[in-house]
């Protein structure tokens, strides 16, 4: 299961039933869990933590030092959960003193050429398209779909169940359950098809839609819109998530 042409540092910890192809480099202070498949020419560097049942395709680099001039060699990690597919030439940098770790959760697909910068946090069940680049300290919540060639500014937050059009670039937060598209990028409706595929009930989708009508079509500022939502729409968990997301947004939301 382990090619004799791979290099594994004697201090690295490798789990059971791990397949490691030729020309793989695994550094010290690396932990690889059970049932992973690591294809040829993958580099897993100092500070990487990899869970179970991941497939990592050729040319991926996990745990390289941050591309941040403030980084001073501090101890940090790049943490990957379980059941992820990490395609060719994906790069996932480890954290800095800001948060100490970069995190990719479970059941994600990171397509070819994706870059995950220092201190980023990607949730569970996300699909990140080819050549999408995520800057430092971004957050992507669960079940988001980010299409190909998207540029995501540092500190941005993307909500759950969004769909972001390919080729987009943005520096504002993208609230949950919406489609973000057009040029320049803007709100393009709620992600009805995605929500139905995920099993959201029609009455829940309607309440989400009503909340966004107030946010984007009432002419109110965000604070006024959120108060109106709280007065007029039942605070089911999905609506409460929208309200809290927007209220705590530090960069402001997409318009």
pLDDT for the residue 63: 98
pLDDT for the residue 143: 98
Question: Which candidate, 165, 159, 135, places its Cα nearest to that of 147?
Answer: 165
Catalytic-residue membership of 181: no
Catalytic-residue membership of 118: yes
**What is the DSSP secondary structure assignment for residue 250, as one 8-state letter?**
S
Q: Which two tokens stand for residue 23?
A: 């020309």
3-state secondary structure of 217: helix
3-state secondary structure of 196: helix
Inter-residue contact 173 to 187 (CB < 8 Å) = no
Q: Which of 63, 136, 159, 194 is catalytic?
A: 136
The upper half-sphere exposure of residue 240, i.e. CA atoms within 13 Å in the direction of its Cβ, equals 4
Instruction: Tell me how far apart the alpha carbons of residues 23 and 8 are, in angstroms, rounded to a whole number.
Output: 10
CA–chain centroid gap for 71, Å, is 22
CATH architecture of the region 7-137? 3 Solenoid (2.160)
**CATH number for the domain running over 195-247:** 1.20.1180.10
pLDDT for the residue 117: 98
DSSP 52-109: SS-EE-TT-EEEEPPS-TT--S---EEEE-SS-EE-TT-EEE---TTTSEEEE-SS-E
Inter-residue contact 179 to 163 (CB < 8 Å) = yes
**pTM confidence score:** 0.96
Catalytic-residue membership of 105: no
pLDDT for the residue 57: 98
pLDDT for the residue 217: 95
Domain boundaries in the chain?
A: 7-137, 195-247
Q: Would you give per-residue pLDDT tens digits along the chain (255 residues)?
A: 999 999 999 999 999 999 999 999 999 999 999 999 999 999 999 999 999 999 999 999 999 999 999 999 999 999 999 999 999 999 999 999 999 999 999 999 999 999 999 999 999 999 999 999 999 999 999 999 999 999 999 999 999 999 999 999 999 999 999 999 999 999 999 999 999 999 999 999 999 999 999 999 999 999 999 999 999 999 999 999 999 999 999 999 999
pLDDT for the residue 182: 93
Q: Which two tokens stand for residue 61?
A: 């680099």
Q: Which of 118, 159, 173, 194 is catalytic?
A: 118
Instruction: Tell me how far apart the alpha carbons of residues 243 and 176 are, in angstroms, rounded to a whole number.
Output: 10
Q: Which of 27, 68, 82, 119 is catalytic?
A: 119
């Amino acid at each position: 299961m382990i090619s004799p042409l791979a290099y594994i540092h004697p201090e690295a910890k490798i789990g059971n039933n791990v397949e490691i192809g030729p020309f793989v480099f695994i550094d010290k202070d690396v932990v690889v869990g059970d049932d992973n498949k690591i294809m040829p020419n993958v580099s897993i560097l100092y500070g990487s933590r990899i869970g179970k049942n991941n497939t990592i395709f050729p040319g991926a680099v996990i745990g390289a030092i941050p591309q941040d001039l403030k980084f001073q060699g501090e101890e940090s990690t790049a943490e990957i959960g379980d059941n992820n597919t990490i395609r060719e030439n994906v790069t996932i940098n480890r954290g800095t003193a800001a948060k100490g770790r970069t995190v990719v959760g479970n059941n994600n697909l990171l397509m070819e050429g994706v870059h995950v910068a220092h201190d980023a946090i990607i949730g569970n069940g996300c699909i990140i398209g080819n050549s999408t680049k995520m800057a430092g300290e971004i957050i992507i919540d669960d079940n988001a779909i980010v299409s190909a060639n998207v540029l995501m500014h540092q500190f941005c937050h993307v909500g759950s169940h969004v769909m972001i059009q390919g080729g987009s670039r943005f520096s504002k937060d993208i609230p949950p359950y919406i489609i973000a598209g057009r040029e320049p990028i803007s709100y393009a409706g709620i992600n009805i098809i995605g929500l139905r595929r995920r099993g959201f009930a029609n009455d829940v989708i309607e309440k989400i839609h009503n909340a966004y009508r107030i946010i984007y079509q009432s002419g109110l500022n965000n604070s006024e819109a959120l108060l109106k939502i709280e007065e007029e729409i039942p605070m089911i968990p999905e609506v409460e998530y929208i309200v809290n997301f927007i209220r705590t947004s530090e960069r402001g939301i997409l318009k």
